[in-house]
Structure 1
């Protein structure tokens, strides 16, 4: 039997990060930093644009701006530690900071799950209930739904984070670039089968049920679109959903790969590679997906640019 002294960590966890050569490390650091800064700039751009242009004062763009605000925090919970590990290699992190990071990451991730469901509901009401859309999706309802996603996300993450914090740990090197749930469970001295079942139930309820809800809504949307009289009207209706469906595919596809299976069923290095997709690349791609493919956003950019140009001319 292992004595109690060997069942706890000494002082800090060690984030392993990615194994890179001395030559590639500065390049990887600069590339990651550039993508991170572009992610922050892109999501801030969407928030400011929605606030600045009255043509985007619709429920759909309100929720897109909330998603961008969420992505600012979501990407910032993990990328600073990724940059640190790329620059310095293995990086120590205190247990308190590790579990705070775990809770923040889980909370924001679950909040995004719920928010994507709310955005699907918005598209369903706009396409399937157009005559009642503005009454059903009033400003008060928008604010209530947005607030509910944050409350639900931060409440749902309490159980996984608190249970992980109570585990005894024999090892301290986390095979990841941040404190993720599956990687921490591998360090425990005890059998984590019961914990994995609890995590699976909580995370499954938060993400799986929400994903089924989204699929149901898009099934109804597809039925309604197929009943439209012309190909042009069908294409226009689907175009308002295409960006959202792309984001859902990126986020859920990669997240389910990590959380729908047991931690021990994948190679240790796989989690951090998959996490790059939903924790880093998806927040980076969101502004691109919602702007470059959206005619209304491009027109709003032109209006705001013209307004700024006229102001500068008057100075």
Structure 2
């Protein structure tokens, strides 16, 4: 195909080219998606409905839950619909739209996680200045900036993609992933690849370094706590948070920053599943459901008295 306008649609090959594996993987994906959406939705509703949880930490958790729902919903429903209907195609415009929202929500999610780590650092290491430091304006900026920056990055990638021509329309992936589309192009993609590294560094590597720095300072502060029980609980919370951080950022770094010679379709797909399905599903359990106040709000939300209507 000499011109990108001749590509009217793409064919998504899915999670596997073997029908039996595709059945199993789609079933697992559906389970992960529904579990993640349910957990994030309950977290969101519990925080909004309980005035006691209207604080900076829960404000960030609320935004994280919203982002995770949006992030997973850009790819998994379309994949499941294609599998159930037997039609594996996606139009060119729909493919670009899916890529746009995937990049936007994923980048915003990444930057927000670093903002949450900063919030925990201030709360633990500078408790007396916490309410002053994490005022309404700063909290708003720490949420608005990821949304604005991620959408600007996504716009640039989408515009550049419209100027590429494609040798084939068969995408060896379950959605319109940026790298997969770049590999299909017959055009010069040096600018696209360079911006993947530049923008990727700003929304993945920089937040990851900030998170590690924050948790290092938190660990030092927690180590000085005289109570053994309090120290153990704090370290348990930090370790669980870091496990999700390593899962999310580690797999993204493996997909976008690994040398080209080490890339394989199976490995990239498996890594993508980890940060698009598994990590968002774990977030409400790790960040929210281990929290005593939030669990109390969830019990209140789900109790019969909460939904009972006065006669």
- CA–CA separation in structure 1 for the residues paired with 2:306 and 2:196: 55
- Structure 1 residue corresponding to 2:63, chosen from 54, 63, 66: 66
**Aligned-pair CA distance for 1:234:** 2.1
1:14–1:91 CA contact under 8 A, matched in 2: yes
Please state how far the C-alpha of 1:7 moved relative to its aligned partner.
7.1
Tell me if 1:206 matches 2:203.
yes
Residues 198-238 of structure 1, C-alpha deviation per residue, up to 9 Å, x if partnerless?
21111112211121111111221122122222323323433
**1:170 aligned counterpart, secondary structure:** coil
TM-score between the two structures when normalised by the length of structure 1 = 0.88
Unaligned runs of 5+ in 1: none
Query: Superposition RMSD on alpha carbons, in Å?
Result: 2.5
Shift in Å, 1:5: 3.2
Matched, 1:260 2:253: no
Asked whether 1:277 is paired with 2:274, we answer yes
> Displacement of 1:182 after TM fit?
1.1
Residues 196, 310 of structure 1: alpha-carbon distance in 2 compared, 3 angstrom cutoff:
closer
Q: Which residue of 1 aligns with 2:99?
A: 102
Q: Is the 8 A contact 1:11 1:94 kept in 2?
A: yes
Pairing 1:5–2:2 present: yes
CA contact (8 A) 1:9 1:169 kept: no
Per the alignment, residue 301 of structure 1 pairs with: 298
Q: Partner residue of 1:45?
A: 42
- The answer as to 2:91 corresponding to 1:126 is no
**2:143 corresponding residue in structure 1:** 146
**Counterpart of 1:67 in 2: which secondary structure?**
helix
- Cα 1:173/1:233, change in 2 over 3 Å: same
Q: Secondary structure at the match of 1:186?
A: helix
Aligned pairs, number: 311
Which residue number corresponds to residue 166 of structure 1? 163
Quote how far apart the aligned CAs of 1:16 are: 1.0
Cα distance in 2 between the residues matched to 1:103 and 1:44: 23
